[in-house]
Amino acid sequence: MRSAAVIGAGSWGTAVAYVLGGKGIRTALWARSADVVSGIAANSRNPRYLTDVLLPPTVWATTDLDEAVRGAGVVIVATPSQAMRATAEALVSVWDGSAPIVSLAKGLEQNSLMRMTEVLEDVLGHRSRLAVLSGPNHAEEVSRGIPSATVISAYDEEIGLALRDVFTTSAFRAYTNPDVVGVELAGASKNVIAVAAGMSDGLGFGDNSKASLMTRGLAEMSRLGHAEGANPLTYMGLAGMGDLIATCTSRHSRNRGLGECIARGGSVEQYEAETGMVAEGAVSCVTVHEIGIRDGLDMPITGQVRRIVREGALADDAVEALMGRDATDELHGMGLSDE
């Protein structure tokens, strides 16, 4: 692999460009903003995100999508989930169908409820060239060379193995998992549980509360995956439990931060204005819940997060509703026990 294109110069796109560029791969970082491009050209730093990270000389920035994608051996899409379709439509005229496309987005498309690789396939076709990268990967840590691990999931086994080698470094270890459905659904649904964990923090609750939310949230995630045909063991791995732990507990987590902000009287709009970042859980609490409703699943935490974030319900009332539920078997519906 000699060249790559990263579409989206936010924090995660910048971090991935840092990883690839550090391997000597000539990496184009596409940005919508000319200021970001000029800042990287002048100082080898993104002036908006991860501003203290010095990008390798192999990373260059451009606002020209055709220039970024032309000749790239792999195309990595690092835009938010709700921008995936527009990004794919822009790629139609510049991507020739040969280079693998890797989605970094952790969400589901509104209305259609499609996973990100489904959106890419819907617009671009070439299912066998599509893949997703997911795991406990905060950009702030990956871009500092702090040891991390991730999962590559591709529809084609050879593509998955090739991408594993592309992304693996001494500090960023990539594993393969053929369960594209499970990896993508885990990435979207764990953000909702992270919002709930942040609400727990905002309400002043303790470790017991957060641990309970995380484990019961993992049960919801697994039920959803099982209903959609995913491998239940995916939820025990990096894309499931690993990402859930990082997103629910880290100070870097946008979704945990959003939940804390809302529990203290703030709003989605306020949080995103203050941070300049998109918290995917603000949309995923609706899309994930809608898939659960479609599949006839019991997803109480996801439903309560939706009520609070989108319908103005109070977090205190949600706590009462969750704690007052009838007790059930812990592994019900997860595909891990007799049913």
- Residues serving a catalytic function are 190
- Which amino acid type is present at position 75? V
Up-side HSE of residue 122: CA atoms within 13 Å toward CB?
A: 13
- CA distances 151 to 134, 171, 174, Å, are 5, 14, 6
Q: Report which DSSP code applies to 204.
A: T
**In DSSP terms, which residues pair with 77 in a beta bridge?**
7, 103
Nearest alpha carbon to residue 177 among 129, 230, 122: 230
Positive or negative CA dihedral for 239, 244, 249, 254?
positive
Up-side HSE of residue 226: CA atoms within 13 Å toward CB?
A: 20
Place of tokens 């606002």: 63
- Residue ranges of E strands in the chain: 3-7, 26-30, 59-62, 75-77, 101-103, 130-134, 148-154, 172-176
* Cβ neighbours, 10 Å, residue 158: 9
Tokens read off for 233: 């063991």
* Cβ neighbours, 10 Å, residue 97: 9
Residue 184 burial class via C-beta count within 10 angstroms: exposed 0-12, middle 13-18, buried 19 and up? buried
